[in-house]
């Protein structure tokens, strides 16, 4: 099994604003575009023009219809990718050392040359963030665009993950969450950013900013299903919509 660093020099990650995400999928598309030619290339597709489209996507955006007890309806867009956890079970479960967390910046990566495709990491990840490439027989995942953010061939303002660069509403933010003086840390503090499923104990680096309207008493249903999901009353830390997202992730996991 693979060990994690005791601590990392930086904690690079994303902050995703659920209040301003409009579910346009621009981040999903630009992520696929950049990474298919980049560090983990190619990101394959299966049946791209058929009804059952699938393939390797590091970033997925799920859309839910939300109904309030008052009978009002609203939409929640929930972007999902690797959260670069501090206590990443996907790393510790890996039998070959293929999955690892970098001491320099905290990014969790996969060394494809060491990966044997056993999928233990995808079973260990509670967020469904691992992507198995059926053609190459190896596991892939979000790299935080490690081949962009240090790339001196790019203009400085472009040295951010592709998803952050392309988001038309500025709902995605990138930076060092280990530095309380960073603009991203101040944003988390100002907007009460939250962890996803903190009770799992994986200490995700990425944070979500909750929608700004009153959400604590919402009762929600997915746009697919008629069944209503009750918020988890005993989920530590998460509240409102995030609590419901935790519930939805657990049910789909
Ligand atoms: Fe690993 Fe999943 Fe955490 Fe990413 S979100 S570091 S894949 S456990
Ligand atoms: Fe490690 Fe690859 Fe197995 Fe995942 S699938 S646990 S990265 S060897």
pLDDT at 40: 83
pLDDT at 233: 34
Residue of 1, 118, 128 best suited for mutating to test ligand 2, as the one with most atoms within 8 Å of CB? 118
Whether pLDDT at 84 is above 60: yes
Ligand 1 atom at shortest distance from the alpha carbon of 141: 7
Ligand 2 atom at shortest distance from the alpha carbon of 130: 4
In whole numbers, what is the pLDDT of the chain averaged over residues? Answer: 87
Ligand 1 atom at shortest distance from the alpha carbon of 122: 7
Residues 201-226 have a mean pLDDT of 67
Whether pLDDT at 216 is above 70: no
What tens digit of pLDDT does each residue of 153-166 get? 999 999 999 999 99
Q: Whose CA is nearest to atom 3 of ligand 2?
A: 118
Which of these ranges, 23-27, 65-69, 127-131, 231-235, has the smallest mean pLDDT?
A: 231-235
Which residue spans within the chain are E strands per DSSP?
A: 12-17, 45-46, 54-55, 60-67, 73-80, 99-101, 108-110, 131-133, 138-140, 172-176, 207-209, 219-221, 228-229
pLDDT at 226: 30
CATH numbers and ranges of domains, the chain: 12-84+142-252 (3.30.70.20)
* Ligand 2 mean position, distance from CA 139 (Å): 6
pLDDT at 198: 95
Q: Is the CB of 99 under 6 A from ligand 2?
A: yes
Which of these ranges, 35-44, 160-169, 244-253, has the smallest mean pLDDT?
A: 244-253
Ligand 2 atom at shortest distance from the alpha carbon of 117: 5
Q: What SS3 class is residue 200?
A: helix
pLDDT at 247: 65
Q: Is the CB of 88 under 6 A from ligand 1?
A: yes
* Ligand 1 mean position, distance from CA 68 (Å): 32
Cα 154 to the center of its chain, rounded Å: 24
Residue 34's pLDDT band, with cuts at 50, 70 and 90, is: very high
Q: Are 209 and 16 contacting, i.e. CB atoms less than 8 angstroms apart? A: yes
* Ligand 1 mean position, distance from CA 127 (Å): 7
What tens digit of pLDDT does each residue of 39-69 get? 888 999 988 888 888 899 999 999 998 877 7
Residues 227-249 have a mean pLDDT of 49
């Amino acid at each position: 099994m693979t060990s994690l660093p005791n601590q990392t020099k930086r904690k690079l990650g994303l902050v995703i604003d659920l209040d301003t995400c409009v579910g346009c999928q621009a981040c999903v598309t630009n992520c696929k575009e950049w990474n298919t030619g980049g560090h983990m290339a190619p990101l394959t597709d299966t049946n791209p023009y058929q009804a059952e489209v699938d393939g390797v996507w590091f970033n997925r955006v799920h859309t839910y219809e939300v109904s309030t007890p008052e009978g009002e309806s609203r939409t929640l867009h929930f972007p999902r990718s690797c959260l670069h956890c501090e206590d990443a079970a996907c790393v510790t479960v890996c039998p070959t050392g293929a999955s690892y967390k970098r001491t320099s910046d905290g990014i969790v990566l996969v060394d494809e040359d060491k990966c044997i495709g056993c999928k233990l990491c995808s079973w260990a990840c509670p967020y469904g963030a691992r992507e198995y490439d059926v053609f190459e027989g190896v596991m892939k995942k979000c790299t935080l665009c490690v081949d962009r953010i240090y790339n001196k061939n790019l203009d400085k303002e472009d040295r951010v993950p592709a998803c952050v660069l392309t988001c038309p509403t500025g709902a995605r933010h990138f930076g060092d969450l280990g530095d309380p003086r960073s603009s991203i840390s101040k944003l988390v503090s100002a907007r009460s950013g939250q962890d996803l499923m903190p009770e799992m104990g994986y200490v995700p680096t990425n944070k979500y900013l909750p929608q700004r309207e009153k959400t604590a008493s919402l009762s929600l249903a997915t746009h697919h299903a008629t069944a209503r999901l009750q918020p988890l009353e005993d989920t530590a830390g998460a509240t409102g919509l995030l609590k419901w997202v935790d519930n939805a992730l657990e049910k789909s996991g």
